Structure 1
């Protein structure tokens, strides 16, 4: 697949403080990449570097094959950027502002009119196009922010916390708009909202303390969410050692006198063996529940794994 964005060994230091350390990012045509991390993880710093608004301390950034540091004007022509605080001129109408943004991206005449009409329609701004931006709701202002990012039809669109501060209805509408944008552009979505990544993205990269901890597909992340423990209740319970001896069981946790949690490797589910042994040995199986891990659980496990490795 054609790589529209490549960042290699990207790092940023502010004095003695390291904000981002040797991160590698790539984005292929048609992909939506979720850049996920808690507040203060280094997400916005990374987005500012990728968009050319902040010079990295080290590393290389290629946008559609053009080096962002060596040829910034040419590279930025392929980028659309929505920072966490949209860069809106509140005293302009929506159409005036989008015309201004189009001109900044060297559009003029008929191509400019066509581009502005297109993004007004795509972003659902037709009914408010002649209203002052300062009079719009936060949700519509965010739509205007996305419209300015795509008015010049860039190859790569970078969205930094695009649903921050919105109410639930506005969040739903903006997420729908992002899915629409992803049909024609490659998108990097920076967020700390876990379900947002799950709903919108093809791949995910997780950052914490300025370091990249996870980089894989949403499917791979989902596999980590699959059950890897069973909660079992047995009327005539065997000993913990007998449960531990079942093939596939890694460890056994006693919850109550007759209730246990059996941990196992995701690729070696002992459910069938457990049921067979319960029947054969008269354990009287009363409850068997596969425990599901939430995306939050997986995220915290990945972050804590890194913190534990630092402490070791």
Structure 2
């Protein structure tokens, strides 16, 4: 049975007269990576700040391994490691000096200090840079140092804010793999506005829109939800719009150019097979067919229709 590390219950927060988030509830289990998605102003940052103990919520509770974060913040925060979007690095220190400093801030016992630093460096793949100044590291390795400080005290929860932001493709892959390695014995949550990052790394997704939780399920369920409903097809002998819309699943078709058409459909993606078959039988000479990716903005637009307006939290 999976162990619940984080439990968020009916979390709500009000800035002045406006409610930033309302009735947010979710859990994070050990060995799981949860992705938090949200558009600008949706309430994602507020949720992250409360989860890390930076902000006290107006209503609701957060439990870290059973400890109430608001009632016992010191003990709860000992179990949290945090990497903000801009890593809190001291560039004029060496990797060793910086990690020793971070371990001391986290009250790692003196007799455990050396092992804690070596363990974090080894896990993050930075041991060979122990004596190098942080300012002389690449962006990817600076990010690794930032992650190392977040796990130096062996927390049960690791919170990462936009951990791949500004990295090149190779560095992104390395950080993704590192996050997966960390989740082998911890619970991990990270926020991102990049859908592909969440899909590549997470097992669970929580999406906040208009201050409300509008999606809470596994990655597989999310991927099923965002199945494409449009495709483009190119023909040498293009069919008429009427011929295409005569196909049961097709609800609309519009030509983007004389030989390329955008098709909107409902239901199964097997509509592509029907188009291929009809192209052969009617000599349409299909040259290309491709499903269009659903953008994150479109997903937010769909889900936000389900989100109630921001008022006071429900009882």
TM-score range for the pair, normalised by the shorter chain length: 0.7 to 0.9
Q: State the 1:133 CA deviation.
A: 3.6
* Cα-to-partner distance string for 1:141-195 (whole Å, 9 max, x where unaligned): 3222111111111111100112233344443433332232222322101111222
**CA distance, structure 2, for counterparts of residue 97 and residue 236 of structure 1:** 64
Mind listing any 5+ residue stretches in structure 2 that lack a counterpart? 310-315
Where 1:84 maps in the other structure, the secondary structure is coil
Distance 1:70 1:310, change over 3 A: closer
* Cα-to-partner distance string for 1:241-274 (whole Å, 9 max, x where unaligned): x654544x15132327786554333347345555
Distance 1:293 1:25, change over 3 A: farther
Task: Quote the residue 1:44 is aligned against.
Answer: 45
Question: What does 1:92-241 align with in structure 2 at a 5 Å threshold?
Answer: 92-231=93-232, 233=235, 235=237, 237=239, 240=242
Report if aligned partners of 2:241, 2:253 keep a CA contact under 8 Å in 1.
Answer: no
Count of residues in correspondence between the two structures: 306
Q: State the 1:50 CA deviation.
A: 0.6
**CA distance, structure 2, for counterparts of residue 246 and residue 27 of structure 1:** 44
Task: Quote the residue 2:283 is aligned against.
Answer: 284
Where 2:103 maps in the other structure, the secondary structure is helix
**CA distance, structure 2, for counterparts of residue 125 and residue 291 of structure 1:** 42
Higher alpha-carbon deviation: 100-109 or 189-198: 100-109
* Cα-to-partner distance string for 1:89-119 (whole Å, 9 max, x where unaligned): 4454322332232233332243322111111
Report if aligned partners of 2:279, 2:285 keep a CA contact under 8 Å in 1.
Answer: no
Two-structure CA RMSD over aligned residues (Å)? 3.2
Q: State the 1:224 CA deviation.
A: 4.0
**CA distance, structure 1, for counterparts of residue 10 and residue 122 of structure 2:** 39
Q: TM-score, normalised by structure 1?
A: 0.83
Task: Quote the residue 1:21 is aligned against.
Answer: 22
Task: Quote the residue 1:253 is aligned against.
Answer: 253
**CA distance, structure 2, for counterparts of residue 234 and residue 128 of structure 1:** 58
**CA distance, structure 2, for counterparts of residue 160 and residue 239 of structure 1:** 47
Task: Quote the residue 1:304 is aligned against.
Answer: 301
Where 1:87 maps in the other structure, the secondary structure is coil
